[in-house]
Amino acid sequence: MEKEKFYITTAIAYTSRKPHIGNSYEIVMSDAIARYKRLQGYDVFFQTGTDEHGQKIEEIAKASGVTPQQHVDKVAGEIRNICDLLKITYDNFIRTTDKSHERCVQKIFKKLYDQGDIYKSEYEGMYCTPCESFWTESQLVDGKCPDCGREVKPAREEAYFFRISKYQKQLEEYIESNSGFICPESRKKEMINNFIKPGLQDLCVSRTSFKWGIPVDFDPKHVIYVWIDALSNYATGIGYDPDGPSETYKKYWPADVHVVGKDIMRFHTIYWPIMLMALGEPLPKKVFGHQWLLFGTDKMSKSRGNVIYADDLVELFGVDAVRYYLLAEMPYTSDGSITYENMIERYNSDLANTLGNLVNRTVAMTNKYFDGGIMSPRADEPLDAELKTLAVDTVKKVDELLADYRISDALEAIFALAKRCNKYIDETTPWVLAKSEEGRGRLGTVLYNLLESIRFLGVLLQPFMPDTAKSVFDQLNTDVTGYDTILSFGNLKIGSVVGKAVPLFGRIDPEEMFKRIDERMQSAEKEVEQDKEKIEGVQIGIEDFSKIKLKVAEIKDCEKVKKAKKLLKLTLDDGSGVPRTVASGIAKWYAPEDLIGRKVIVVSNLKPATLCGVESCGMILAADCAEDDVRVVFVDDMPNGAGIR
């Protein structure tokens, strides 16, 4: 029988900088779901990746002195490393700078333009650079960007618009008739009441103010709005093409679930479905919006110095403990919180005590009392029946909870079984049973029930803590690990011999751990300083600044330098009575005749240098306005020779 398909995606992370542990949450969550579905026999395709275009990335790259491509290559590499470190079993890692994706996004844009869903007009409004979004005055909150709360500035540009408004009714109908499409329910209400009901406005889908994006191929001074580019990844990554989709696309589309953070639900439940409607493609079955992971009660941010990275955590606690903590700590409808105290506590109580001790004690007792042999169980006592029922019921419960993406509840159910097993040990007192010959028969049954329950735990934990599950199976020395083997109790083979007892999680000494954490924090603080220096420059005192002599100077003459395409030779009157020659790399942006008569600021005490045969005595000031846009600072109404301080 052909397996049922399941296509799951995460949001694609921005490559502005290395992502923190909060960003990694949904990747781990989606990985757990993907693994669970595979365990259940689905044919799963799991896609994650990186969102690599946009003005912010262009600016960060410039501040770091590298090209945008170099910058995104580095960060995408870091993100991939984090995925590998966290044992993410993605089937495809898409990058929006992949040539095949870029080409396909251009085709999507063109198709929508040709059919009249995208049209050219002019935009006038307030622009938020970090969010790359235009807003009308009425959409601003206290005069600031409604999404991120930062300053906006007036902007006007020729732009392409997407006729979102045309699809409003169709979208409403889809949401209405597919009750599980927006999940959880609270997010659905938010989308409908805050965004859809007030009326959808056409969306500005191109930009001309920067270059680092996918160009509109039939009008290349425009780049395609980063969200149109980014959202398309879900389809292009599996081979969508307006000219004819691939076999993979035909097999896996529509997505069964897009897992995204609550902050970007709007893009996924409004813009993306409308894009698909316009393209005539089926809509995803579900968009699941998860909560945020906070540091204590604060948002994580590098400048606040409270950012936690996956690689640091993995080094401190180990990969499965990090996966467990993230998944167990995030509630379904409120934000989760990460603190080192809480992590240490959960590690010691849940992993070392509840799970680790259970496995260790049981395997050790089997070795001690029966030389590792797994005995045949005898007739049930009421306690046994209760444990067996709980084990089988736990499978059903986990199944139901995961169908609703209630991950932390599912883990809680699994750990409730582990706790019940520990209680069963206390109730049955195997060490007492071991003392008498008649007790040994009962002891064999007790240990069988425990070992089999531990096997249940191993199977159920595979999607969440894959290394731990493997170690459990090694200790049980079993290869009976499939999902169908936990639909009934008693599939652990009688007569086989368990392995050696190996502690799954050694207890953490909090004092010792905090010492290690402090060391890491100090080096992280240093890194923040270095980053700041990169962007804002090294701090200098006024005495340093006063060493630089700046003067107003008039350009009396200007010509191209024959040997150097980039250079112009300027002759300046800086008020000293002696003409000053300066070579400046601005030939690409200015014709010599446009500069004669203009006044500029010159650094007059710069050491002379010879550039392509021209002795340059100073430097004029200019602004880097965009990647390929340099503008000279003109001060035409100032007197020649005036000092600037």
Give the rounded distance of the alpha carbon of 303 from its chain centre: 18
Q: Is 274 in the site for ligand MSP (CB under 6 A)?
A: no
268: closest CA among 328, 211, 191? 191
What number of CA atoms fall less than 13 Å from residue 636's CA on the CB side? 5
Q: Which of 12, 86, 275, 355 binds ligand MSP (CB under 6 A)?
A: 12
Measured between alpha carbons, how far apart are the two ends of the chain, in Å? 80
Residue nearest to ligand MSP (CB): 261
Q: Which of residues 485-504 bind ligand MSP (CB under 6 A)?
A: none
Q: Which of 22, 239, 430, 463 binds ligand MSP (CB under 6 A)?
A: 22
| Closer residue to ligand MSP in complex, CB, 292/590 | 292
Which stretch in 255-263, 366-374, 481-489, 535-543 sits in contact with ligand MSP by CB under 6 A?
255-263
Q: Computed over its alpha carbons, how large is the radius of gyration of the chain?
A: 32
Q: Give least dist CB 288 to ligand MSP, A.
A: 10
Q: Is 332 in the site for ligand MSP (CB under 6 A)?
A: no
Which stretch in 12-20, 187-195, 368-376, 602-610 sits in contact with ligand MSP by CB under 6 A?
12-20
For tokens 């993230």, name the residue.
326
Q: Give least dist CB 303 to ligand MSP, A.
A: 15
Q: Site mask, ligand MSP, residues 275-314, x = CB under 6 A?
A: -----------------xx------x--------------
Q: Give least dist CB 291 to ligand MSP, A.
A: 7
238 and 252 in contact (C-beta within 8 Å)?
yes
Q: Which of 6, 14, 464, 489 binds ligand MSP (CB under 6 A)?
A: 14
- 343: Cβ–Cβ under 8 A, 6 or more apart, which residues? 313, 317, 321, 325
**Cα–Cα distance for residue pair 187/530, rounded to 1 Å:** 39
Q: Which of 176, 263, 380, 400 binds ligand MSP (CB under 6 A)?
A: 263
Q: Which of 8, 13, 108, 321 binds ligand MSP (CB under 6 A)?
A: 13
Q: Site mask, ligand MSP, residues 151-190, x = CB under 6 A?
A: ----------------------------------------
159 and 202 in contact (C-beta within 8 Å)?
no
Q: Site mask, ligand MSP, residues 215-254, x = CB under 6 A?
A: ---------------xx-x---------------------
Q: Give least dist CB 517 to ligand MSP, A.
A: 19
45: closest CA among 1, 8, 3, 93? 8
407 and 329 in contact (C-beta within 8 Å)?
no
> At 162, is the secondary structure helix, strand, or coil?
strand
Q: Is 445 in the site for ligand MSP (CB under 6 A)?
A: no
Q: Is 11 in the site for ligand MSP (CB under 6 A)?
A: yes
Q: Give least dist CB 56 to ligand MSP, A.
A: 10
| Closer residue to ligand MSP in complex, CB, 54/458 | 54
Q: Is 261 in the site for ligand MSP (CB under 6 A)?
A: yes
Q: At what angle do helices 310-317 and 510-536 cross, to 10 degrees?
A: 160
**Residues contacting ligand MSP: total by CB under 6 A:** 20
**Cα–Cα distance for residue pair 125/240, rounded to 1 Å:** 34
> At 47, is the secondary structure helix, strand, or coil?
strand
Q: Give least dist CB 16 to ligand MSP, A.
A: 8
> At 168, is the secondary structure helix, strand, or coil?
helix
Q: Which of residues 39-78 bind ligand MSP (CB under 6 A)?
A: 51
Residue 568, beta-bridge partner list: 560, 584
223: closest CA among 366, 58, 387, 371? 58
616 and 609 in contact (C-beta within 8 Å)?
yes
Q: Give least dist CB 259 to ligand MSP, A.
A: 8
Could you give the C-alpha distances from 54 to 22, 61, 161, 207, 454, in angstroms and in order?
22, 11, 18, 10, 50
> At 430, is the secondary structure helix, strand, or coil?
helix
List residues near ligand MSP by CB under 6 A. Answer: 11-14, 19, 22-23, 25-26, 51, 230-231, 233, 260-261, 263-264, 292-293, 300
